[in-house]
Amino acid sequence: MENGIANILHRGTIAVLAGTHTFDRGQRCFADGRVVEVEGVKGELHGKVRPAEAGRAAYVVRLWIRSEGLAYECTCPIGVERRFCKHTVAIALAHLERERADAERGLDVLREALVTIPAPAMIDGLLVLARRDAVMADALKRMCLDALSRS
Ligand SMILES: [Zn+2]
């Protein structure tokens, strides 16, 4: 289910739901480090956003999937009306950023493992992938052409 919300949550979707003005404010909110907590559990996203004014309680944000699409709520005055507020944008962006970082870490592990494969076995493996996937085959051909043009 975690993947469910990841499939729906894209920057573009968030921008459309929030509108440009709210999206920009949410982006600033995230960039300022005001997201203090974000957690994705079973198709739901929970998070807390520190208010700009000191002494106030953190805003509590929740995003989840309904059959009609994405649902959301926040404890701020805009969020309680079930409108997409800047805190919801900030939580969604924090989640996307964390997923991107996780994917990147996964690729780092893959890189370390790939280095251990001898070149002939690597070539055989890539050819198997290229046979299965035309896009992959084209990308490999481009890589070869790039390498040739540089040598
Ligand atoms: Zn809010």
Distance 102 CA to ligand 1 centre (A): 26
Distance 96 CA to ligand 1 centre (A): 18
Q: Taking CA 52 as the corner, what is the angle to CA 22 and CA 2, rounded to the nearest 5 degrees? A: 60
Same domain, 40 and 80: yes
What is the pairing mode between strands 69-74 and 59-66? antiparallel
- Is residue 96 within 8 A of residue 33, CB to CB? The reply is no
**Of 36, 39, 28, 30, which is closest to residue 5 (Cα–Cα)?**
39
Q: What percentage of the chain carries pLDDT values higher than 70?
A: 95
Residues, Cβ < 5 Å to ion ligand 1? 59, 74, 76, 79, 85, 87
In the 8-state DSSP scheme, what is residue 70? E
In this structure, the chain runs to a length of 151
CA–centroid distance, 121 to ligand 1, in Å, is: 53
| pLDDT confidence of residue 65 | 84
Q: Which amino acid type is present at position 62? A: R
- Does 88 lie in the same domain as 20? yes
- On whether both 11 and 85 belong to a single domain, the answer is yes
DSSP SS3 for 130: helix
Same domain, 82 and 122: no
User: What total number of domains does the chain contain?
Assistant: 2
Helix H or strand E encompassing 146? helix 134-150
In a shared domain, residues 15 and 72? yes
Q: In this structure, are 103 and 32 located in the same domain? A: yes
Confidence class for position 2, pLDDT limits 50, 70, 90: very low
CA–centroid distance, 75 to ligand 1, in Å, is 6
Q: What is the residue range of 30's domain?
A: 2-111
The reported pLDDT for the residue numbered 42 is 80
Q: Are residues 21 and 70 in the same domain?
A: yes
Residues 84 and 104 in one domain: yes
For 16-47, how does the pLDDT look when each residue is reduced to its tens digit (9 = 90+)? 989 999 999 999 999 999 999 999 888 899 99
Domain match, 28 and 43 both = yes
Looking at residue 6, its pLDDT comes to 64
- 102 & 122 share domain: no
Q: Could you give the 3-state DSSP secondary structure of residue 33?
A: coil
- State the pLDDT at residue 122: 96
Tokens of 108: 């780092």
